[in-house]
Amino acid sequence: MRFVRTIRFRLTVLYSTLLFALAGAGLVVTYIAVERTTDPKPITKSYEAGVYKYGVRTGTMTVAEVDEIESAVNFSTLETMRNYSLTALGGLFVASLGIGWVLSGRALRPVGAIARTAREIQATDLSRRIRLSGPRDELRDLGDTIDSMLDRLDEAFRAQRQLIDDASHELRSPLAVIRANLDASLMDAPDASEPERERAIAVVDRATTRMSRLVEDLLATARRNAVALADTDVDLGAVAREAGEDFTAIAADRGVRIRYDVRGDLMLIGDHDALRRAAGNLLSNAVRLSPGAARWPWRPGRRAAGCGSPSPTRAGYLRRRPASRLRPLLARRPSVP
């Protein structure tokens, strides 16, 4: 039966068996000690004597020596003690079963709480925690360890969801750039000049290269390998011009006009691809959220705290951050008021 295989039942039987064995051993030792010190034995020599009253014999009685009587009393007392001890030992065993069942249930109550919480936790909801209370014992440590494991799992799942969300956002911009430039230069304008076609091809080539790097970063992150940032001298003006060229066709399709004010003397140390994706996110949000016939400037600038990246009107800005915080693929999207 499943009930017999439970830990609670086995602990109850173990507790009762140990208590019964200890009590039985104590009674046996006590019985042997009393028996050896009192020399109990029944009366073996007795005599019949007459009972006289006023010189007249009224009956008979059994008489024995004092030592014989004392041994007989000890024997009877020891026999009575043995009978009561056996009865008490049987009652103690039954009582120990109930006490052991209650005590084992109290000891295993935290385990039940851990099991119930673990059953209620699902793969898509790791916010539940056990949070055991009580003394800092082994079960409390077990509960805290499981809570720590759930924290790590929850963090890993959130990172995966954020990775998917950021990857979708990052891949959407290159695809939009490719489609817009192909439509503008190859389909909508079949008589486009050779320089225009070459410019469109260059933009498409850069977009596909960025997509390939994004896929590589995604695979590296999936394998739990940290994506290393290449800290080099980066011309922020060139990054801004490159991003602007990629989104020119998309902005034209939406009726948005971008006024470029890009200088080439803004140098900083960082990762070129990460900065390029950050600038692309700014332009993508600005073009997507701007009303029709909107005009806004696209310019990199320099702030008192250091060199700042492009800050187009109504598209927010991205503060300059250390290269170690500009993670490729996981760059935060800028907020748009």
* Residue partners of 142: CB distance under 8 A and separation at least 6: 110, 114
Domain annotation covers residue 147:
no
List the CATH number of the domain containing 252.
Answer: 3.30.565
| Structure-model confidence comparison of residues 297 and 3, the more confident one | 297
For residue 298 the two structure tokens come to 């696209």
Domain annotation covers residue 286:
yes
- The closest of 90, 85, 103 to 20, measured between CA atoms, is 90
pLDDT one-digit tens code per residue, 57-70: 777 777 656 677 77
CA distance 21 to 328: 70
Domain annotation covers residue 252:
yes
CA distance 162 to 166: 6
pLDDT one-digit tens code per residue, 123-155: 557 788 888 887 788 888 888 888 898 888 888
pLDDT one-digit tens code per residue, 28-66: 888 888 877 776 666 666 667 666 677 777 777 776 566
Per the listing, tokens 């140390």 go with 269
Of the residues 72, 89, 107, the one at which a domain ends: 107
The pLDDT of residue 328 is above 80? no
Domain annotation covers residue 120:
no
The pLDDT of residue 307 is above 60? no
> Is residue 71 domain-shared with residue 178, that is, in the same domain?
no
**Four-residue CA torsion sign, 120, 123, 125, 128:** positive
Domain annotation covers residue 132:
no
> Is residue 62 domain-shared with residue 210, that is, in the same domain?
no
pTM above 0.85, yes or no: no
CA distance 235 to 270: 10
pLDDT more than 70, % of the chain: 74
The distance of Cα 332 from the centroid of its chain, to the nearest Å, equals 25
Enter the DSSP assignment of 185. Answer: I
> Is residue 166 domain-shared with residue 314, that is, in the same domain?
yes
Domain annotation covers residue 164:
yes
Domain annotation covers residue 148:
no
Domain boundaries, position 78? 7-107
The pLDDT of residue 188 is above 70? no
* Phi and psi, residue 298, nearest 5°: -125, 105
> Is residue 103 domain-shared with residue 159, that is, in the same domain?
no
The pLDDT of residue 324 is above 80? no
- The closest of 281, 285, 287, 319 to 300, measured between CA atoms, is 319
User: How many other C-beta atoms are found inside a 10 Å radius of the C-beta of residue 100?
Assistant: 21
- The closest of 121, 148, 143, 142 to 132, measured between CA atoms, is 143
